[in-house]
Homo-oligomer: A and B are copies of this chain.
Amino acid sequence: MATMADVARKAGVSRSTVSYTLSGIRPISDDVRERVRAAMRELDYSPNALARGLASKRSGIIAMLYPLLERGVNLSGLDHIGAAAAQAREAGYNMLLWTTAVEDIDGLEELTQQGLVEGVILMEVRQNDPRVRFLTDAGIPFSSIGRSGLEGDAPYVDTDFDGTARDALAHLESIGHRAVAFINHSRSTIEKGYGLALKMQLAMETAALALELDLVSVACDPQFRAGSDAFVTLSRERPEVTAIVSVNEKALVGVVDGITRSGLAVPDDISIVALLSSVETAETSVPSLTTVSPPPHEMGREAMRYLVECLESGTRAGHQRLVPGQLVVRESTGAARRHEHTATR
């Protein structure tokens, strides 16, 4: 590994000149610049990140906090990560992956005390997320995917829940559905501070009101069985329902089973729209699922972009954004069947 001193010697200049040609923060004559560059090339020089970081107090490392031991991770998490990593790289940063639980503030403190990390990206943010509190107090720049409710003016990217609900219901309404069931997460999940469930609930109710649709909300455990049973009950008690909107990916598989068990078919009798689902899941389902989801790669990129901007310019303005969902119509939605109480049980 060649060092800056090697380059300087070879180019016949001082070390600082080499440094400045690299950073460009002070004028360098064309002649010298060329000599330095040539020397770098010949020596296959590349700056040492540790030394640079130590001297400049800028490590160029961003930590991605992605708690992995939680509730079953889903595939869009990977998209977020991939997008954030790509964006980081383009901006000249490296991305550290930190996977301990949301509650592990000691670990987080240890990480940030090392002086290795310039900024942090938070994923799987919860209502009142302790990490947000810690990072704010510690004065460490961060940006989050999702909201905790206490970020203040810190940057974040979150789902536009209202838009997502509206798009889903508008799609159903446009093809004739009038009564829709909303399969949400379980109450215990909501209570654990998984804010998504609550926000989605409100958004659905608002959108249904605006579109004058009948909305039946069902809280459901994230299991096959729960979903299946939920539908059977639903179809008995609310036979007028012709469409289902779900944020509960796990339960949804069961719902489809419940529909089949009830002697009904998707989308002939019941249409389904999945919210915030990964493309993977939507496309490998049978039938494939119509979805409304904000593109995960956009969320990942934006969150990283905001953080980098904070790091480099100190600006925090306009760095809070709600990403609208994107409706992708697949096989699970179709025109509403005429409301004539088709066989159930």
Residues of A within 8 A of B (CB): 1, 46-51, 53-54, 59, 61, 64, 68-69, 72-73, 75, 77-78, 81-82, 85-86, 89, 94-100, 107, 110-111, 113-116, 224, 250, 253, 257, 280, 284, 286
Give the contacting residue for A46; candidates B68, B82, B94, B114; CB below 8 A.
B114
Is A94 within 8 A of B94, CB to CB?
no
Residues in B neighbouring A46, C-beta threshold 8 A:
110, 113-114
* Contacts A73-B78, A224-B286, A257-B286 supplied; 6 other A-B pairs, CB < 8 Å: A48-B114, A49-B116, A50-B59, A68-B81, A86-B100, A253-B284
Residue of B nearest to A64 (CB): B97
Is A72 within 8 A of B115, CB to CB?
no
Residue of B nearest to A279 (CB): B72
Residues in B neighbouring A116, C-beta threshold 8 A:
49-50, 94
Residues in B neighbouring A50, C-beta threshold 8 A:
50, 53-54, 59, 115-116
Is B113 within 8 A of A85, CB to CB?
no
Residues in B neighbouring A81, C-beta threshold 8 A:
68, 97, 99
Is A95 within 8 A of B94, CB to CB?
no
A selection of 16 A-B contacts at a CB cut-off of 8 Å is A1-B115, A46-B110, A46-B114, A48-B54, A48-B115, A49-B114, A49-B115, A50-B53, A50-B54, A50-B116, A51-B54, A69-B82, A85-B98, A86-B100, A224-B286, A253-B286
Quote the shortest CB–CB distance from A108 to chain B (angstroms). Answer: 12
Is B97 within 8 A of A97, CB to CB?
yes
Residues in B neighbouring A49, C-beta threshold 8 A:
114-116
Q: If the complex has contacts A75-B75, A96-B96, are A47 and B114 also in contact, measured as CB distance less than 8 A?
A: yes
Residues in B neighbouring A94, C-beta threshold 8 A:
96, 111, 114, 116
Q: Sort A-B residue pairs by CB-CB distance and give the 7 closest, nearest first.
A: A46-B113, A68-B82, A49-B114, A97-B97, A49-B116, A48-B115, A85-B99
Is B73 within 8 A of A85, CB to CB?
no
Quote the shortest CB–CB distance from A53 to chain B (angstroms). Answer: 5
Residue of B nearest to A59 (CB): B50
Is A68 within 8 A of B78, CB to CB?
yes
Q: If the complex has contacts A96-B95, A286-B253, are A85 and B114 also in contact, measured as CB distance less than 8 A?
A: no
Residues in B neighbouring A61, C-beta threshold 8 A:
96
Is A68 within 8 A of B85, CB to CB?
yes
Residues in B neighbouring A53, C-beta threshold 8 A:
50
Residue of B nearest to A228 (CB): B286
Quote the shortest CB–CB distance from A75 to chain B (angstroms). Answer: 7
Residue picked from A50, A97, A110, most chain B C-beta under 10 Å: A50
Residue of B nearest to A45 (CB): B113
Residues in B neighbouring A47, C-beta threshold 8 A:
114
Quote the shortest CB–CB distance from A252 to chain B (angstroms). Answer: 10
Quote the shortest CB–CB distance from A36 to chain B (angstroms). Answer: 18
Is B73 within 8 A of A99, CB to CB?
no
Is A72 within 8 A of B280, CB to CB?
yes
Quote the shortest CB–CB distance from A26 to chain B (angstroms). Answer: 24
Residues in B neighbouring A96, C-beta threshold 8 A:
61, 94-97
Residue of B nearest to A253 (CB): B284
